[in-house]
């Protein structure tokens, strides 16, 4: 049995989450949060620095499925999504067929991103990007995920929070030998 105040506290958290998610969206005409978008166009190429300043190119991962997570330190839903992405990364990093890249769009760069990553225990690689790259991918807000198939095309985009099970489903559709739905 749940304590009396737990239901109202949970309701307040859901309301705060919904408000925060709307605040993170940049376009009122954008797809609803959580709505997946199918696409089959080439992924825009990029070269971004990681937190150590080393350049990372999307093309370096050709032949593998790449999950790109666009996020910011000020975005509450982005923070909520970290555990699912960490778990997904832990389960896939050793196989070598799937890569997770977090792209921080914070304007202050590593100065704010590095401590945030440390405090929240983010395990997957983080790159320093900006909103123009997010817009190049056609993403109206954050959090947003892009699944790039091994051939370099965008397999799927997803705006809003995503569950671990959904990550497995959309990435399995982009992996070599998988059938598309």
Decide: 72 and 78 in contact? Cβ < 8 Å: yes
**CB contact at 8 A, 147 and 154:** yes
pLDDT at 136 over 90: yes
91-129 pLDDT, tens digit per residue, is 988 888 999 999 999 988 899 999 999 999 999 999 999
Phi, psi of 93, rounded to the nearest 5 degrees:
-65, -35
Domain boundaries, given as residue ranges, for the chain: 34-172
Q: Count Cβ atoms below 10 Å from residue 174 Cβ, excluding itself.
A: 22
Encoded tokens for 36: 């997946």
Please give the pLDDT value at position 18. 44
Contact status, residue 69 vs residue 137, Cβ threshold 8 Å = no
Please name the CATH architecture into which domain 34-172 falls. 3-Layer(aba) Sandwich (3.40)
Mean pLDDT to the nearest integer, 47-70: 96
pLDDT tens digits, one per residue of 2-55:
444 444 434 434 434 443 444 454 443 444 545 554 447 999 999 999 999 999
What is the reported pTM? 0.75
pLDDT at 152: 94
pLDDT computed for residue 5 by the predictor: 43
For position 6, what pLDDT does the model report? 42
> Are the C-beta atoms of 82 and 113 separated by less than 8 Å?
no
How far is the C-alpha of 175 from the C-alpha of 170, rounded, in Å? 9
């Amino acid at each position: 049995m749940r304590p009396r105040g737990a239901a109202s506290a949970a309701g307040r958290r859901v309301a705060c989450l919904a408000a925060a998610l709307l605040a993170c969206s940049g376009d009122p005409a954008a797809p609803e949060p959580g709505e997946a978008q199918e696409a089959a166009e080439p992924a825009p190429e990029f070269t971004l620095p990681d937190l150590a300043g080393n350049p990372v190119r999307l093309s370096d991962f050709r032949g593998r499925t790449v999950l790109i997570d666009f996020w910011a330190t000020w975005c509450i839903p982005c923070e909520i999504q970290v555990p699912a992405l960490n778990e997904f990364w832990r389960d896939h990093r050793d196989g070598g067929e799937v890569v997770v890249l977090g792209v921080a769009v914070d304007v202050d760069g590593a100065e704010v991103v590095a401590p945030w990553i440390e405090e929240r225990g983010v395990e997957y690689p983080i790159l320093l990007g900006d909103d123009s790259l997010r817009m190049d991918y056609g993403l109206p807000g954050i959090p947003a995920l892009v699944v790039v198939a091994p051939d370099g095309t965008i397999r799927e985009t997803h705006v809003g929070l995503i569950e671990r099970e959904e990550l497995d489903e959309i990435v399995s559709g982009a992996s070599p030998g998988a059938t598309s739905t």
